[in-house]
Structure 1
């Protein structure tokens, strides 16, 4: 206690705190002064644990006693105690905080999660200099990847690093609270939009049977239509994606036609891929999604016209695949019950994150596929391993739920499972005393995290190996061929330029090229007609001279 009073009076570790955030933390400081603080932890970590203790209704001493009784000896080792105990308190507090309706709309919650990341980077008393927990503080990718997945809607272990890269791309890979807070606010808006759409009467007779949630709607604005191509027919309409199916309603004069249903939840050998479209069956514009299944007589193409690029199509392609791949995962591992709802919830959360990030202005276009968990697992070399570990985790959770029901504690456990959260020891595995919270474990990597790390490492090795092979091919060719390649480089650049014009990547350049080329063709045709007339006149005059008896060989 005397040591704490000396630190506060001296102000050495809290000088930054008293100047910048005293209005926010003065109550916490006063309460810690009058309680037993934890000397192994840094001042920011002590403050964070105090805030966690208030959320949990436990004293800091009680939290430490619970940690000592539940954690393994390796977690309690002096070298790792500070960070492990901080994670333990943060994860427990977050697990309880997210059960409050509208928690993302609470500024204190958003600030709390970010401050947890700041404290995570400097947990021990020996961690100096201490960070500034204020509006100017920043966090790195490791802190974000540890704390953010504890709130399932904010991130998960598969895509947390990609979310961080998007958020911190313009700030030297350090995330500022202003950007993080903006992301969570947009995420709350996306959640409210999902709830309002799902509660609306839109397609309610068709959705009611499975309780489908509407994830996205497009084609309601005349300036951004959605065109359905079936065979040679094309019709504009409204496209709706739910967590089970895709619906298209053709637009008539004043209303929509009966919806066509493309079911993504059935095993119909569906194929969803990008497609080229154009007038009269030509393949000019890369702005469409191709859909085929065994239930259709002929494939369907959904076109998303836009003046420049194909980001709108890429977004729809990614979210359609996310729902489709989630159901394929359910079929493959035969997952049902509450675990099935949790898998669909993971896909829904991923789409909500993409929608939130889309609303934020970034200089670089979003790669939606890299932000959606099931899309990522489909692309990574060891993506099947990630899905297998996820299925095993869900299976073990189901066994824990059955045991909880048998012991009379099923209601609370089922609620936690539906929220994507379970906190406690992993009792399903022998000699495993890890403290789990959802997909992460206190102080250790779960099997799912290890699978993600291995898959990403394998992918990086494949990319590096391919780059090395390409480099060897260039370095090993004959000098004459290398010279020839350099001479042909302008032709290659010219070809790329023609392709960009063909795909209308820059509509103004493509339009200008078409006008100029049309002018050249018309001018050439006019010149040809003039030459034909001149030739006709000349040869006509020669025939006349010949008829008069003159020698034409000298003409």
Structure 2
């Protein structure tokens, strides 16, 4: 067809053979259901999706034989290439970009030949790095589309996360050698699950299924429940004969994924056996992909959570939104699509016996319908939102890591510098309180008394918040973030080493005095509360009763106004001239006469 690209025509010819329908007949069938509108590129892509999804549905019915063939990975990879460039116009644009990139590569970089070699993206296998620079490659959107049609290379829920992991060493583009190797490893894992050997120490129920067995010793458990005859006494897991934490962390990750699956089913009350197995099937395929990626990327092991759906969205911010979408989709499942996770595992003979006896009704659909497409679009929008917020959090966490590595001295210096703007505010407050500027002090006093008397505290707080918003807008308009991209703090000191040691000792002594004073105050307060000093306890109780009466009789606003006037007056010249030395001395003597509760420290366990 003229409106299609060369690779799209090639792939659709293969699809026509697989389906057993001529390409012209497929075009007529597509025209009957296609709603006119959009560009030629949109028409070409929709037609390509229609034909390729029908071919994939036919392939899924005999998946056990197809996945082991290299022609399957080649065809599906070409499908993704064609999806990116479905029309002849997009192909021309793509070829122009490739030609420009080749011209750029022909020019020696500033760093010479060595830098050019280092810039070549590599895919590392077990044996040697494969240079894949000139091979046509696919992007993230094509990989996500393919995963939405057939959840084998990835699930639609975590397709972008899996793609990011698989292309970490190839600058965000997936090359065929890596893709083909990934499918070969998936095929190995599937064959392993097809004939699992039941350990001699385990008895499986009808609905239980072995996901993975570590090692070759079938008589020794990798995970063992030790002690305790009741779940209320707690659960202890032992990992025998494990010398490193890699395998242990891997097993704990798998255990967590299975646990989160069952929590998901219980939380959303998924009761149907078909719906429950569909969730199990998605989890099993995720674990298969994780094992395949671990075998493929041994030099740089992948992040497990990027392949495990329930663990991924349990740790992601707003991941519950994605799980809500998944639960809603499962509740609407009353039959299975030929390319659903359940159908894929059944066609490859990977499922417990009870699944075969459920009498699952298989849909006769040969492609993805418009309702499914709308649901996928809504789900993709939610996933993109979660992913973007996760990236923002990772960037913010990375900016915090530098501060966590600083020592106690540098941290204190940074804290002092960050609090320096508040120092000016505190000095201004002290100046107002001490009547250094009588006009401002009178204005603040009158305003405060008016707010308290009229009970305008909440409107005053609202005005402060609005003022802060205005200040933030002013700072944004002045583009302070661009003028001051970082805060520079000098940690050097004019003190000699001996002076620094003395200063540190003095600061430590002050901190010790603060801790000791706090302990004494707590112990004396406990002594008063427990009536260890009856005389002082009686005085405190009478004082508290008097304060309670005052609080009942006198309105709170008058108490606040009186307290404010007292504080302002005592800081004025007239107030400072009044001697409070004798009263403070008597109060200190009363406090010192309170005995503390005795404290005894022991090194052993306390009873």
TM-score of the aligned structures, taking structure 2 as reference length: 0.53
C-alpha distance after superposition, 1:234-258 (max 9, x if no partner): xx9413xxxxxxx63xxxxxxxxxx
- Inter-CA distance 85–324: structure 2 relative to 1 (3 Å threshold): same
Question: Could you tell me how far apart the structure 2 residues matched to 1:344 and 1:399 are?
Answer: 16
In structure 2, the residue corresponding to 1:206 is in which secondary structure?
Answer: coil
Please point out which of 363, 384, 387 is paired with 1:453: 384
Richer in strand (by share): 1
Please point out which of 242, 255, 259 is paired with 1:320: 255
Is the 8 Å Cα contact of residues 336 and 363 (structure 2) preserved in structure 1? Answer: no
Is the 8 Å Cα contact of residues 81 and 142 (structure 2) preserved in structure 1? Answer: yes
C-alpha distance after superposition, 1:136-181 (max 9, x if no partner): 3221222112113422222112222232223222223222211111
Matched, 1:123 2:86: yes
> Runs in 1 of length 4+ with deviation above 6 angstroms?
131-135, 468-476
C-alpha distance after superposition, 1:287-322 (max 9, x if no partner): xxxxx99725233033366555x2212211211111
Q: Runs of 5+ in structure 1 lacking a partner?
A: 1-37, 223-235, 240-246, 249-259, 263-291, 402-410, 426-432, 488-555
Is the 8 Å Cα contact of residues 220 and 238 (structure 1) preserved in structure 2? Answer: no
Partner of 1:59: 22
Partner of 1:536: none
Partner of 1:213: 209
C-alpha distance after superposition, 1:17-38 (max 9, x if no partner): xxxxxxxxxxxxxxxxxxxxx2
Please point out which of 292, 301, 307 is paired with 1:356: 292
Partner of 2:67: 104
Matched, 1:190 2:189: yes
Richer in helix (by share): 2
Question: Could you tell me how far apart the structure 1 residues matched to 2:313 and 2:229 are?
Answer: 22
Question: Could you tell me how far apart the structure 1 residues matched to 2:277 and 2:315 are?
Answer: 24
Question: Could you tell me how far apart the structure 1 residues matched to 2:133 and 2:82 are?
Answer: 12
Matched, 1:373 2:372: no
Q: Runs of 5+ in structure 2 lacking a partner?
A: 99-131, 338-357, 405-410, 420-488, 495-607
Question: Could you tell me how far apart the structure 2 residues matched to 1:65 and 1:412 are?
Answer: 35
Question: Could you tell me how far apart the structure 1 residues matched to 2:361 and 2:33 are?
Answer: 22
Partner of 2:355: none
C-alpha distance after superposition, 1:246-280 (max 9, x if no partner): x63xxxxxxxxxxx599xxxxxxxxxxxxxxxxxx
Question: Could you tell me how far apart the structure 1 residues matched to 2:291 and 2:363 are?
Answer: 26
Alignment of 1:430-469 (within 5 A): 433-434=370-371, 436=372, 441=373, 445-465=376-396
C-alpha distance after superposition, 1:400-422 (max 9, x if no partner): 99xxxxxxxxx9982359xxx98
In structure 2, the residue corresponding to 1:238 is in which secondary structure?
Answer: coil
Matched, 1:46 2:9: yes
Is the 8 Å Cα contact of residues 304 and 313 (structure 1) preserved in structure 2? Answer: no
C-alpha distance after superposition, 1:322-372 (max 9, x if no partner): 111111111122222211111100000000011111111443222112221
Matched, 1:387 2:323: yes
Report the CA distance between 1:395 and its aligned residue: 2.0
Aligned residues: 360
In structure 1, the residue corresponding to 2:221 is in which secondary structure?
Answer: strand
Is the 8 Å Cα contact of residues 15 and 55 (structure 2) preserved in structure 1? Answer: yes
Report the CA distance between 1:472 and its aligned residue: 11
Specify the structure having the higher radius of gyration (Cα): 2
Is the 8 Å Cα contact of residues 165 and 306 (structure 2) preserved in structure 1? Answer: no
In structure 2, the residue corresponding to 1:216 is in which secondary structure?
Answer: coil
Q: RMSD value over aligned CA atoms?
A: 3.9
